[in-house]
Amino acid sequence: MADTEIAQTDKHSHELEVVDTGWQREPTDAPSARFGWHGESKTAMRVGGWISGLILLAMIIGNHKGHVEDIWLIAITALLWAILVRDLVLSRGKWRN
């Protein structure tokens, strides 16, 4: 049968055992700085955006009879590509990432 009482120990519950593992607390603004990651890959995101737009347009080909789905797919693709074009225009003249 399981014991219902809490076992008493010699250590106080508010004291933590400190073990030196070599790890340090990471800064909150760049938690992965120790691993060499300092930002996002803008090129990969741009390529992914263009490919996602093409996939959305490929979904127009299908067995649906109404055109409401087609309008939504085209509108979402146009919005996505407008954001990508805006990003390209605004990033002209800056250092490449």
- Rounded-to-10 torsion of CA 79, 44, 37, 91: -60
Per-residue model confidence (pLDDT) at position 65: 84
User: Which range has highest mean pLDDT (26-30, 33-37, 45-49)?
Assistant: 45-49
pLDDT, tens digit, 9 for 90 and up, residues 39-94: 678 888 999 999 999 999 999 998 888 889 999 999 999 999 999 999 988 888 76
Q: pTM value?
A: 0.56
Determine if residue 94 is left, alpha or beta; phi over 0 gives left, psi from -120 to 50 gives alpha, anything else beta: beta
Question: What is the Cα 72 distance to its own chain's centre?
Answer: 25
Distance (Å, whole) CA 76 – CA 57: 9
Per-residue model confidence (pLDDT) at position 28: 61
Distance (Å, whole) CA 83 – CA 54: 15
Per-residue model confidence (pLDDT) at position 24: 63
Per-residue model confidence (pLDDT) at position 9: 56
pLDDT exceeds cutoff 60 at 17: no
